[in-house]
């Protein structure tokens, strides 16, 4: 099982995979505070759901550079890597928040944090899809094949 994280300035969207690591599901959104409650919640999820790795979205700019948001996400991932007993990976999350809007009803009456959890789901699903493609490619290669 894997966790996906959409780290924002105020909220952290959280998604979880199914046990087979084929599908991601929006789980919740946590409001970022100075009390460390986000880190505590993630530690609980890692323990309770037997998470194998945490995937943190890295919001690169359109041309692939790291802006202020990406620097914050990278720092957050570094903190997680120090505090959690599982690997923490960064994943390019360009446009996931905008894509999340396509899956949600119009803004009026919508929970503000819902977009963050759906963005985390999209981040994790992208990572899971890439992981599955790499496993499939490795399985196609024959033993001793250098390609």
CA–CA dist 102, 75 (Å, integer): 29
- Residue ranges per structural domain of the chain: 2-140
Q: How confident is the model at residue 31 (pLDDT cuts 50, 70, 90)?
A: confident
Supply the pTM of this predicted model: 0.81
CATH pick for 2-140 out of 3.30.70.360, 3.40.50.2300, 3.40.50.2020, 3.30.420.140? 3.30.420.140
Q: What confidence tens digit (pLDDT) does each residue in 52-111 have?
A: 999 999 998 888 888 898 999 999 999 999 999 999 999 988 665 555 555 655 555 556
Find the range with the poorest average confidence among 8-22, 39-53, 58-72. Answer: 58-72
Beta-bridge mates of residue 88: 54
- Report yes or no: 22 and 138 within 8 Å, Cβ to Cβ: no
Closest CA to 6 of 143, 127, 138, 140: 127
CA angle, corner 134, sides to 133 and 135, nearest 5? Answer: 90
């Amino acid at each position: 099982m894997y966790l996906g994280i959409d780290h924002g300035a105020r909220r952290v969207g959280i998604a979880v995979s199914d046990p087979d690591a084929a599908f991601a599901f929006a789980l919740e959104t946590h409001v970022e505070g100075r009390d460390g409650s986000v880190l505590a919640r993630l530690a609980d999820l890692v323990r309770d759901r037997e998470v194998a790795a945490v995937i943190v979205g890295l919001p690169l700019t359109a041309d692939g550079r790291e802006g202020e948001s990406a620097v914050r996400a990278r720092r957050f991932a570094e903190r997680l890597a120090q505090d959690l007993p599982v690997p923490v990976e960064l994943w390019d999350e360009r446009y996931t928040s905008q894509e999340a809007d396509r899956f949600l009803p119009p803004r009026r009456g919508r929970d503000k944090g819902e977009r963050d959890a759906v963005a985390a789901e999209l981040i994790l699903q992208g990572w899971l899809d890439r992981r599955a493609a790499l496993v499939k490619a490795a399985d196609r290669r024959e033993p001793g094949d250098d390609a």
